[in-house]
C-alpha cells in the first residue's frame, strides 16, 4: 500500500470508529480507570474529586472484613456449582435436540431461553412466591410427594437459601449455552463421524473422540460467559434475601457498601476496591480456562 | 444390530420424555406469572396452590393501574396526558430500549466495519482492549459511572442507562465478526469508482451486514430491557422508572400482595417475550456469531 493510502485508511478508520469510541471510552474505559484509582482512596458519596490517597488500606481492610470473606466464599460456591451444572445440562439438552426437525428444535431452544428473556425481576418475583413458606408450590408438591414433613422456609433458612438462589440462576443461564452447543454440534465434521462409525466406534466413543474436541472453543466460550454471569448474580440476592440467610455475594456487598450501609454510607473507595478484586478474580479464572482448554 | 437399534430407540424415547418434563418445568414460572395475574386473592393465598384460576379477575391489573399516576411523557415543556404509573414505566422502558438499540447498531456497525476492513495504526491494540473489556463484569464500574453521570447532569435520566449500554463493546465485536465476510474486491471496486467512504458504508457495507445488525438490534433491545442493576443505580424518581425497577420497588413496598406483583411481572415480561418470539431467528444467529473466535 502506498503511503497516501495508509494515511487515508487510518483517517477514515478512526472516523468510522469515533462515535463508538466516544461511548466506549467515556462510559467504559474512564469509569474503569476511576474505579482503580478510587479503590486507593477514601472517597465517599459526597467527596468532590478523587478523595485522599490511602494506599492499599481498603484492600487490607477488606481482607480483615468477615462479611466480605463470606461474600467472596458464597460467590465462589455459586460459580463452582452453577458453571459445571450449566455446561453439562446444556450439552445434554443440545445433543438430545440438535437432530430434531426445525420447528421442534426451535421450540425447545425457545423454551430454554425464555427465562432469560423474561427478565430478572419478573423471574425473581415469581420464584419468591413459588418458594413461599405458606403459599408456595414447592412446599406443596414436596409435601404431597411425601419428601418433606412440614413446610420449609426455603429463603429464610441458611441451609437452603443459597441452593435456592443457585437453582434460579441455573434456569436463567442455560439458554445461551444451548443455542451455542446446538450450532456447534451441527458444525461437527460429518465425514470424521461417518469414518469412525464405519470403523465400528460406539456413539459414546464418537462423542468423546470426535465431537467433544471439535466443540472445545464453544465449551470454552460457554465457560467464560457462564462464569461472568454467575459472578454477577445480583438481582436474585437483592430481591430475595438482601444478602441474608448466608447468601451475601460480592456483587451485592458492593452495592450494599456503596448505597445502603449506614456507618460507611457511600464508601465508594471501599466498594470500588471490591470491584477491582472481583475483576481480578474473573480475569484469572478466564485466563485459567483458556489455558486448560489450550492444553487439551 | 437389532439389539442396538432397539436400545437407541429406547434411549430416544426416554430422552424425549425427559426433555418434555424439563420444558414443562422451564415454562412453569411463566405460566405461574400469567395465571397468577388473573387469580383472585382467595386463590392466591390458598395454602393448596390453585393450578387453574377458579375465577378469572382483572382486579390485580386494576390495582396495578390505580397506583401512582404520571404524565405519559415529558419532552421539555410538552407534557402528555396523565396515565397510571405502570404505563409510564412501560413507555420509559420502550424508549430506553429503542434508543439504546438504535445508537448501538449505528455506532457498532461503523466501528465493526473499520476494525474488520481498514488497516490503520493501533487497530490490533484497540481490538485487544475491546476483547478484554468484554470479559469484565459491567457492574464493577457502576459506582464510578454513577459519579460520572451526576457530574454530567445525567443522573436520574434514562440517558444514564442508555449511554453505558451503547458503550459496551460486545456490539463492536459482533459487527466485526459479520464485517469480516465482506469481500475486499467489492470495497476496492467502489473506491476505484470514486465512491466516498460514507457512500461505500451506507450502500455497500450496511446491506451486506444486515443480518448482523438485526441480531445486534434484538440482542441490545432485550438486554437493555432487562438490565435491572443499571436501572436501579441510575434512576431515582418514580416517573423515570423502568418497568423492571417499578415492579422491584413495588415488591419492596408490598411484598405480600402476590396478585399485584404477578400483574406487574406479566406487564414487564409479556412484551419482551413477544419481541423475542418474533425476532427469534436473528437472535440465535447473533448469539452464535458472537461466539465464533470468541
User: How do the pLDDT tens digits run along chain B, 294 residues long?
Assistant: 455 677 778 888 898 999 999 999 999 999 999 999 898 888 888 878 888 888 888 888 888 888 766 777 776 666 777 778 888 899 999 999 999 999 999 999 999 999 998 888 888 888 888 888 887 777 788 888 988 898 899 999 999 999 999 998 889 988 998 888 888 888 888 888 888 888 888 888 898 888 889 888 988 998 899 889 899 989 988 888 999 999 888 888 776 788 889 999 999 999 999 999 988 878 777 777 766 544
Pairing of the two strands B74-75 and B78-79: antiparallel
Query: Which positions in chain A touch B118 (Cβ < 8 Å)?
Result: 9-10, 12-13, 16
Asked whether B217 and B101 are in contact (CB, 8 A), the reply is: yes
CA atoms within 13 A on the CB side of A125: 36
* Residue count of chain B: 294
* Interatomic CA distance for residues B56 and A170, integer angstroms: 32
B172 to A24: CB separation less than 8 angstroms, yes or no? yes
**φ, ψ of residue A174 in degrees (nearest 5):** -85, -15
Question: What is the pLDDT, as a whole number, of residue A5?
Answer: 76
Q: How confident is the model at residue A287 (pLDDT cuts 50, 70, 90)?
A: confident
Q: Which residue of B has its CA nearest to A171?
A: B26
B29 to A123: CB separation less than 8 angstroms, yes or no? yes
Hey, which residues does B74 pair with through a beta bridge?
Answer: B79
Asked whether B87 and B72 are in contact (CB, 8 A), the reply is: yes
Question: What is the pLDDT, as a whole number, of residue B34?
Answer: 93
DSSP A64-124: H-HHHHHHHHHHHHHHHHHHHHHHHHHHHHHHHHTTS-HHHHHHHHHHHHHHHHH-HHHHH
B29 to A125: CB separation less than 8 angstroms, yes or no? no
Q: Considering chain A, what is the average pLDDT of its residues? A: 85
Give the domain ranges of chain B.
2-59, 70-291
Distance from CA of B179 to the nearest CA of A (A): 13
Q: Which residue of A has its CA nearest to B44?
A: A135
B144 to A137: CB separation less than 8 angstroms, yes or no? no
Buried/exposed code over A113-151 (b: 16+ C-beta within 10 A; e: otherwise): bbbbbbbbbbbbbbbbbbbbeebbbbbbeeeeeeeeeeb
Question: What is the pLDDT, as a whole number, of residue A123?
Answer: 93
Mean pLDDT of A94-118: 89
A268 to B147: CB separation less than 8 angstroms, yes or no? yes
Coil, strand or helix: which one is A53?
strand
Residue carrying the nine cell digits 415480561: B269
Query: Which positions in chain A touch B291 (Cβ < 8 Å)?
Result: 180, 217-218, 221
Which residue, among A122, A120, A146, has the nearest Cα to A233 in the 3D structure?
A120
Instruction: Provide the 8-state DSSP code for A262.
Output: S
- The model's pTM is 0.87
* Interatomic CA distance for residues A164 and B5, integer angstroms: 40
Interface of B with A in 83-122 (CB under 8 A): 103, 106-108, 110-111, 113-115, 118-121
B27 to A171: CB separation less than 8 angstroms, yes or no? no
Nearest neighbour of A112 by CB, restricted to B26, B121, B291: B26
Least confident of A50-59, A119-128, B70-79, B213-222: B70-79
Over 90: is that where the pLDDT of A24 sits? yes
Instruction: Provide the 8-state DSSP code for A273.
Output: H
Residues 6 or more apart in contact with residue A94 via CB below 8 angstroms: A177, A178, A181, A182, A184, A185
Question: What is the pLDDT, as a whole number, of residue B23?
Answer: 93
Which domains does chain A carry?
Answer: 66-295 (1.10.3720.10)
* Residue count of chain A: 296
* Interatomic CA distance for residues B44 and B145, integer angstroms: 41
Question: What is the pLDDT, as a whole number, of residue B292?
Answer: 57
Residues 6 or more apart in contact with residue B36 via CB below 8 angstroms: A126, A129, B44, B258, B259, B262
DSSP chain B: -HHHHHHHHHHHHHHHHHHHHHHHHHHHHHHHHHHHHT--HHHHT-SS--SS-SS--SHHHHHHHHS-EEES-EETTEEPPEEEHHHHHHHHHHHHHHHHHHHHHHHHHHHHHHHHH---TTHHHHHHHHHHHHTS-GGGGHHHHHHHHHHTT-TTSTHHHHHHHHH-THHHHHHHHHHTTS-HHHHHHHHHTT--HHHHIIIIIHHHTHHHHHHHHHHHHHHHHH-HHHHHHH--SGGG--HHHHHHHHHHH-TT-HHHHHHHHHHHHHHHHHHHHHTHHHHHHHHHHHHTT-
B248 to A1: CB separation less than 8 angstroms, yes or no? no
Residues 6 or more apart in contact with residue B166 via CB below 8 angstroms: A23, A27, B100, B103, B104, B107
A232 to B138: CB separation less than 8 angstroms, yes or no? yes
Query: Which positions in chain B touch A121 (Cβ < 8 Å)?
Result: 226, 228, 244-245, 247-248, 251, 265, 268
**φ, ψ of residue B70 in degrees (nearest 5):** -150, 160
Read off the pLDDT of residues A158-216 as tens digits, 9 standing for 90 and up.
888 999 999 999 999 998 899 889 888 888 888 888 888 888 888 888 888 888 888 88
Question: What is the pLDDT, as a whole number, of residue B4?
Answer: 63
What would be the CATH architecture of the domain defined by B70-291? Answer: Orthogonal Bundle (1.10)
- Kindly tell me the sign of the dihedral angle through the C-alpha atoms of B34, B37, B40, B46: positive
Amino acid at each position: 500500500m502506498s503511503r497516501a493510502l495508509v494515511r487515508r485508511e487510518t483517517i477514515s478508520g478512526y472516523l468510522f470508529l469515533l462515535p463508538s469510541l466516544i461511548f466506549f471510552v467515556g462510559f467504559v474505559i474512564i469509569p474503569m480507570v476511576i474505579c482503580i484509582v478510587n479503590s486507593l482512596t477514601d472517597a465517599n458519596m459526597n467527596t468532590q474529586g478523587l478523595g485522599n490517597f490511602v494506599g492499599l488500606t481498603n484492600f487490607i481492610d477488606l481482607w480483615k472484613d468477615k462479611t466480605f470473606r463470606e461474600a467472596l466464599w458464597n460467590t465462589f460456591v455459586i460459580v463452582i456449582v452453577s458453571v459445571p451444572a450449566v455446561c453439562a445440562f446444556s450439552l445434554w439438552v443440545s445433543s438430545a435436540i440438535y437432530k430434531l426437525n426445525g420447528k421442534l428444535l426451535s421450540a425447545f431452544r425457545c423454551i430454554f431461553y425464555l427465562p432469560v428473556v423474561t427478565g430478572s425481576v419478573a423471574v425473581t418475583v415469581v420464584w419468591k412466591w413459588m418458594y413461599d413458606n405458606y403459599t408456595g408450590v414447592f412446599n406443596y408438591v414436596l409435601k404431597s410427594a411425601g419428601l418433606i414433613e412440614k413446610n420449609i422456609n426455603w429463603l429464610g433458612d441458611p441451609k437452603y437459601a443459597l441452593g435456592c438462589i443457585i437453582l434460579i440462576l441455573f434456569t436463567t443461564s442455560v439458554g445461551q449455552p444451548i443455542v451455542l452447543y446446538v450450532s456447534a454440534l451441527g458444525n461437527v465434521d460429518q465425514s470424521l463421524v461417518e469414518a469412525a462409525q464405519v470403523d465400528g466406534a460406539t456413539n459414546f466413543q464418537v462423542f468423546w473422540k470426535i465431537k467433544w474436541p471439535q466443540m472445545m472453543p464453544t465449551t470454552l466460550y460457554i465457560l467464560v460467559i457462564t462464569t461472568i454471569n454467575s459472578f454477577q448474580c445480583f438481582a436474585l440476592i437483592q430481591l430475595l434475601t438482601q444478602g441474608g440467610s448466608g447468601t451475601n455475594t460480592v456483587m451485592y456487598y458492593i452495592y450494599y457498601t456503596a448505597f445502603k450501609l449506614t456507618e460507611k454510607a457511600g464508601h465508594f473507595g471501599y466498594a470500588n476496591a471490591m470491584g477491582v478484586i472481583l475483576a481480578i478474580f474473573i480475569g484469572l479464572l478466564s485466563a485459567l480456562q483458556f489455558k486448560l482448554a489450550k492444553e487439551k | 444390530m437389532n439389539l442396538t437399534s432397539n436400545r437407541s430407540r429406547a434411549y430416544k424415547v426416554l430422552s424425549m420424555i425427559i426433555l418434555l418434563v424439563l420444558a414443562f418445568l422451564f415454562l412453569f414460572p411463566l405460566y405461574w406469572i400469567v395465571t397468577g395475574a388473573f387469580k383472585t386473592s382467595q386463590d392466591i393465598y390458598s395454602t393448596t396452590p390453585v393450578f387453574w384460576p377458579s375465577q378469572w379477575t382483572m382486579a390485580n391489573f386494576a390495582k396495578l393501574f390505580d397506583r401512582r399516576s404520571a404524565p405519559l411523557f415529558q419532552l421539555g415543556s410538552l407534557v402528555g396526558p396523565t396515565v397510571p404509573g405502570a404505563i409510564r414505566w412501560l413507555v420509559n422502558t420502550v424508549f430506553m430500549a429503542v434508543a439504546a438499540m438504535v445508537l448501538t447498531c449505528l455506532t457498532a456497525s461503523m466501528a465493526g466495519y473499520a476494525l474488520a476492513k481498514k488497516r490503520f495504526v493501533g487497530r490490533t491494540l484497540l481490538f485487544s482492549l475491546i476483547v478484554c473489556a468484554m470479559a469484565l463484569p459491567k457492574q464493577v464500574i457502576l459506582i464510578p459511572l454513577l459519579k460520572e453521570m451526576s457530574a454530567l447532569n445525567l443522573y436520574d435520566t434514562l440517558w444514564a442507562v442508555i449511554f453505558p449500554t451503547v458503550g459496551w463493546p460486545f456490539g463492536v465485536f459482533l459487527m466485526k465478526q459479520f464485517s469480516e465476510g465482506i469481500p475486499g474486491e467489492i470495497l476496492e471496486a467502489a473506491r476505484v469508482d470514486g465512491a466516498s467512504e460514507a457512500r461505500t458504508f451506507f450502500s455497500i457495507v450496511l446491506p451486506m451486514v444486515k443480518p448482523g445488525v438485526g441480531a445486534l438490534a434484538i440482542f441490545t433491545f432485550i438486554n437493555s430491557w432487562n438490565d435491572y442493576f443499571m436501572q436501579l443505580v441510575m434512576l431515582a424518581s418514580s416517573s423515570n422508572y423502568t418497568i423492571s425497577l417499578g415492579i422491584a420497588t413495588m415488591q419492596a413496598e408490598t411484598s405480600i400482595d402476590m396478585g399485584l406483583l404477578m400483574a406487574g411481572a406479566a406487564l414487564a415480561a409479556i412484551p419482551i417475550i413477544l419481541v423475542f418470539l418474533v425476532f427469534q431467528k436473528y437472535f440465535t444467529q447473533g448469539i452464535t456469531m458472537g461466539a465464533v473466535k470468541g
